[in-house]
Structure 1
């Protein structure tokens, strides 16, 4: 069977992270949504996403296709129901399409001709940016169970101080000495070639992904994910950092999501609670206004390739687009459009030529090429987000 993950109606609610990737390639828990589905289905998947992303994330369509809404995270009950789908059957939950089996081209789908099946089980759905951190604890536990089933952890070095070591799993090649690991509140997963430096204080749930680094004396608690090859230090609570990003120094990050190729300068801090304890509102790209989150704690949402200088301060519920560069004293406004350059005193347009020069240098340091496809994606985002910038 050919399985295809589609973005679905939540795609725009997940901007700015879905400017540069399909919904399926968002990381929540230990794995990306795509990696979760591929483990459960034991096969590769492709994607239905925005046209400008197709060169990087192509779709492969065959005679028999099962389409899956990438906002839904897999579990055994849901996967079994999807595997049992027959042609022209569709799985709903409430009014949402979760999956369907078709031999028709995607432009010809008419669900009125399908047999509707109701999924009544529980599953995690990622439909807003804040779900990425607020549902991260549950997702870490699910991924931990999936990855570690019937496997044995590497030995925990004796220099480490551990609580609930049965909830700690260390992959081959990981290094850690003289740390404190408390897994009594949730599992701690340390991936291949990851490193936790001396003096770090860790309370699970934690997902430290492949080749990621926690620097000396860091304090990390609340369900937190550090993506592959990312480096972090200072204080972090209940946040998700995608791959290849850095928060390498002191400063506080809480209830936040940081995209790929981001860098937070030394002593960058974000607020995650309003002074009046009111509900946090976040910028909504669909309504072009600030949307209710239902949350009292909500910090920083930063899109790919964005960076900030030392001592940057972000207000509660700040959304930063793609490839923004923020610096200077004071609080910048709590919606910073893509390709913005500046700070609390105002912003100008960060021209693509300069942004591309930085991206090429940053990516080459990780031995990754900044391709013409990457440029085309960022150029599209630059044009699409012009309306938000003051030229």
Structure 2
């Protein structure tokens, strides 16, 4: 019954098993190329202004969903793969999008450089430069700043000029610590950001850092950050890692989804409460203290 109800079908000779998040980034471009013929039926019903430019290929490599608008001077580069733009998404000038890339419904792309291999979920606001990254829905990177080889969860807000590193100065392999083991993740490795994370203006995130659920970042992030943590280590604060109050995290979530005309549910609150308890030991191991950060 599930197969009969499927909207799209494709035979997959071998299903890859993904163990680590950087593997999703590595496979993303090829998956967009493979899925494009299935999800892009025709050219779509959106509008490409006559002064926008398709470079490196033809209109068949671009899908513009119903209600979507691509403004004048926007460049769509399909020389390396197709570009999918979902329904009601607006691409403002001066933006350059390189394929293969997927942009979901109800997004704003605001003067950005969307490099190859990007997947942007629905209802996102994205500007600046983004390369080979995955953004889940309802996340914002509206302002200038670079994100490369990054995995970003839902309801993340990235402050102006926040930038992550995805390459070591030595051009050597990046090693990430998971459950006490050092694992080699490759040469181009960005950051991995959980749902509901917020970064302040000018935040800098070192290569391969992992940021836990609902944490707040300030300054230069040189270490992994546990869930429900306020990171202020580089600012000379009294306490470099401070526990974010559960009620504060829940209130911030309610305010952020309210900006998208959504309401917080009892299940949302239960999720926050459960995750707070599940990650308590993680914060204790990392030396996160309770209280308020003071400069």
The TM-score, its normalising length taken from structure 2, stands at: 0.88
Query: 1:211 Cα shift?
Result: 0.3
Pick the aligned partner of 1:77 from 2, 5, 11.
Answer: 11
Q: Considering only CA atoms, is the larger Rg found in Structure 1 or Structure 2?
A: 1
Query: 1:276 Cα shift?
Result: 1.2
Query: 1:234 Cα shift?
Result: 0.5
Conservation of the 8 A alpha-carbon contact between 2:192 and 2:208: yes
Q: Greater CA deviation, 136-145 or 257-266? A: 136-145
**Distance between the aligned counterparts of 2:143 and 2:182, measured in 1?**
31
Matches within 5 A, 1:237-316: 237-284=131-178, 287-293=179-185, 295-316=186-207
Conservation of the 8 A alpha-carbon contact between 2:190 and 2:208: yes
| Other-structure match for 1:338 | 227
Query: 1:172 Cα shift?
Result: 0.9
**Distance between the aligned counterparts of 2:144 and 2:43, measured in 1?**
34
Which structure has more relative contact order (CA 8 Å, sep 6+)? It is 1
**Distance between the aligned counterparts of 1:316 and 1:133, measured in 2?**
15
**Distance between the aligned counterparts of 2:4 and 2:162, measured in 1?**
41
**Distance between the aligned counterparts of 1:208 and 1:298, measured in 2?**
22
| Other-structure match for 1:147 | 39
| Other-structure match for 2:292 | none
Query: 1:43 Cα shift?
Result: 4.8
**Distance between the aligned counterparts of 1:172 and 1:220, measured in 2?**
21
The TM-score, its normalising length taken from structure 1, stands at: 0.67
**Distance between the aligned counterparts of 1:334 and 1:75, measured in 2?**
42
Question: Are the structure 2 counterparts of residues 267 and 259 from structure 1 closer, same or farther at C-alpha, using a change threshold of 3 Å?
Answer: same
Cα distance per residue 1:247-283 (max 9 Å; x no partner) = 0000000000110000110000100001111211224
**Distance between the aligned counterparts of 1:366 and 1:123, measured in 2?**
36
Query: What secondary structure does 1:250 align onto?
Result: coil
| Other-structure match for 2:293 | none
Cα distance per residue 1:187-212 (max 9 Å; x no partner) = 10011001110110111111110001
**Distance between the aligned counterparts of 2:76 and 2:43, measured in 1?**
18
Query: What secondary structure does 1:376 align onto?
Result: helix
Question: Are the structure 2 counterparts of residues 280 and 361 from structure 1 closer, same or farther at C-alpha, using a change threshold of 3 Å?
Answer: same
Query: What secondary structure does 2:119 align onto?
Result: strand
Query: 1:241 Cα shift?
Result: 0.4
Aligned residues: 276
User: What stretches of structure 1 of length at least 5 have no aligned partner?
Assistant: 4-39, 45-73, 79-120
User: What stretches of structure 2 of length at least 5 have no aligned partner?
Assistant: 235-239, 290-295
**Distance between the aligned counterparts of 1:261 and 1:142, measured in 2?**
28
RMSD of aligned Cα (Å): 1.8
